Amino acid sequence: MTTICDHLDRDSRVKLGAYYTPEDLVARVHDLVAPYVERGGAKSVMIDTAAGYGAFLQGLAGEVRAGEIDDGAVERLRQVLPADAVFHANSLQEPSRARYRIAEDATLVVVGNPPYNDTTSEFRNGRKGRNEADADLQDRDLGVSFLRSYARLRADVVCVLHPLSYLIKPANFRRLKEFAAHYRLRHGLLFSSARFGQTGGTKFPVVIALYERGAGMDYDDVRTFDFEVLESGGTFRLDVFTTTDGLINKYPPGKQGPRESDLGLYYYTFRDINSLLRNAGFMAAPHYNGIVVLRGEFHRYAYLHAFKRFFAPANAWLYGNLSPLVEPAWLDAHRQELVAFALQDHPVLRAAAKSVRATIAGDYGVDLQVEISPAVRERLRDGIMRLAVGGAACPQAAQAR
Ligand SMILES: C[S@@+](CC[C@H](N)C(=O)[O-])C[C@H]1O[C@@H](n2cnc3c(N)ncnc32)[C@H](O)[C@@H]1O
């Protein structure tokens, strides 16, 4: 069940990132932080600086603090928490222990579900809220700013929900800066953004992440980290997957490189599986978002087309932030079938000039007169679907094969 903050209209909800957290996920956070709170004893304080209605703080025995910017939510917080535990302010401006009356030697445990604006959310549609944060906390994503603010509070433990993309996309990971320099991931439980109900069409992985202050972490630590998948009980570990990165170019030409395709074909740029599945594939004219498809590389884009058509595991959300998965040897072994399938299946390729179709068919030894058989289709589908269960994401399914 998702709780929607019912005192806000839709626009304000989007602006404040105010989607409240289901109880079972709150309980997970409590379980993860319990040992630290116990160890800290009377000196431990739990804080949520994006507290909403106080889902993470209500009914707890020990010291709590709540920060919240929204008037309506603050009113509710004051009904469920001691008045002197509620701080009505922008948590991203000058956060400090002193401001929340937390002793420097207290064991500080940050919990919560800070707001975030991911690129698939409604933020994209011009409703975006302003992120008014201190200069060193400023980031285009509010959630990243919140993580950095915890480092400023010198929290001993941080256990919050955030998009997994903050960790697994190298460019995002670099933006964590001070946070990654001082905090190390200890537990990561994954679930689908569908649990929040309101976050738009494309589902993506969200993590309940437990961090301890100390040595910090680098991207390699993330690549080799065993995340737990809440629904299936399986694990998800980045470095078991091979992606098309390094094999298939996914960006339009920069300053160098050919701008025109010798086949007159282009492929819509894709950051990850989610955007590949969402966007158009082949295009017959240059486009500012078009990757140039060159002769000799066509089979790779034919692979992307097959991936788009056939990659649909029940837990697709888990893979949304990764580049398309691939087994390079399989791709090579099936290049003829992949090319034949794309030429027959993609409307732009079907409508392409005869000479272009003939050139591609000639390059790969494809007979344009022969229909793709259901058996070939199934073979391609199997090969691509296998990539989802072939990793460690779903150990039960992998064993069953
Ligand atoms: C995703 S909700 C989480 C609410 C609550 N922790 C829960 O899970 O039920 C995020 C909350 O952060 C608040 N918020 C957004 N920006 C903020 C800021 N700069 N300072 C303090 N609170 C903020 C929103 O008003 C919203 O209540």
Instruction: Give the pairing type, strands 183-192 and 86-88.
Output: unpaired
Determine the distance from the C-alpha atom of residue 327 to the mean position of all C-alpha atoms in its chain, rounded to a whole number. Answer: 22
> Which of 6, 69, 74 has most ligand 1 atoms within 8 Å of its beta carbon, as the pocket-test mutant?
69
Report pLDDT for 200: 62
Query: With contact defined as beta carbons under 8 Å apart, do 107 and 45 qualify?
Result: yes
Ligand 1 site, residue 139, Cβ cutoff 6 A: no
Look at residue 168 and tell me whether its pLDDT is greater than 90.
yes
> For 15-66, how does the pLDDT look when each residue is reduced to its tens digit (9 = 90+)?
666 667 899 999 999 999 999 999 999 999 999 999 999 999 998 889 999 9
Question: What residues contact residue 9 under an 8 Å CB cut-off, 6+ apart?
Answer: none
CA-CA distance, 192 to 183, in Å (whole number)? 24
pLDDT interval class at 256 (50, 70, 90): confident
Please give the domain boundaries of the chain with CATH numbers for all domains. Answer: 3-240 (3.40.50.150), 265-400 (no CATH)
- Token code pair at residue 181: 């320099």
Ligand 1 site, residue 55, Cβ cutoff 6 A: yes
- Token code pair at residue 93: 């401006």
Report pLDDT for 10: 64
- Token code pair at residue 214: 């100390």
Ligand 1 site, residue 141, Cβ cutoff 6 A: no
Ligand 1 site, residue 388, Cβ cutoff 6 A: no
Ligand 1 site, residue 196, Cβ cutoff 6 A: no
Average pLDDT over residues 160-184: 97
> For 198-250, how does the pLDDT look when each residue is reduced to its tens digit (9 = 90+)?
556 789 999 999 999 999 999 999 999 999 999 889 999 999 999 999 999 99
- More confident position, 351 or 120: 351
CA-CA distance, 29 to 372, in Å (whole number)? 51
Query: With contact defined as beta carbons under 8 Å apart, do 323 and 244 qualify?
Result: yes
Report pLDDT for 62: 92
pLDDT interval class at 196 (50, 70, 90): confident
Ligand 1 site, residue 185, Cβ cutoff 6 A: no
Report pLDDT for 395: 40
The conformation of residue 158, written as its DSSP 8-state character, comes to E
Nearest residue (CA) to ligand 1, atom 9: 20
- Token code pair at residue 158: 């941080």
41 CA to centre of ligand 1 in angstroms? 27
Of the candidates 180, 172, 174, the residue with the CA atom closest to the CA atom of residue 272: 172
Look at residue 389 and tell me whether its pLDDT is greater than 80.
no
Ligand 1 site, residue 341, Cβ cutoff 6 A: no
The H-assigned helical ranges of 311-373 are: 328-333, 335-345, 347-350, 354-364
Instruction: Give the pairing type, strands 183-192 and 227-229.
Output: parallel
Cα angle vertex 68, ends 119, 91, to 5°? 70
Average pLDDT over residues 373-392: 87
Phi, psi dihedral angles at 332 (to 5 degrees):
-65, -45
Ligand 1 site, residue 95, Cβ cutoff 6 A: no
The DSSP result for 67-91, as a single string, is EE--HHHHHHHHHHS-GGGEEES-T
> Which of 20, 26, 127 has most ligand 1 atoms within 8 Å of its beta carbon, as the pocket-test mutant?
20
How much of the chain, in percent, has pLDDT values that exceed 90?
Answer: 81
Ligand 1 atom closest to Cα of residue 129: 16
Q: pTM (2 decimals)?
A: 0.88
Strand partners, 209: 160, 188
Report pLDDT for 15: 61
Average pLDDT over residues 372-392: 87
> For 101-146, how does the pLDDT look when each residue is reduced to its tens digit (9 = 90+)?
999 999 999 999 999 975 444 444 444 455 689 999 999 999 999 9
> Lowest-pLDDT range, 248-257, 262-271, 335-344?
248-257
> For 307-331, how does the pLDDT look when each residue is reduced to its tens digit (9 = 90+)?
999 999 999 999 999 999 999 999 9
pLDDT interval class at 11 (50, 70, 90): low
Query: With contact defined as beta carbons under 8 Å apart, do 243 and 323 qualify?
Result: yes
CA distances (Å), 144 to each of 50, 61, 111, 163, 165, in order? 13, 30, 15, 10, 11
Ligand 1 site, residue 91, Cβ cutoff 6 A: yes
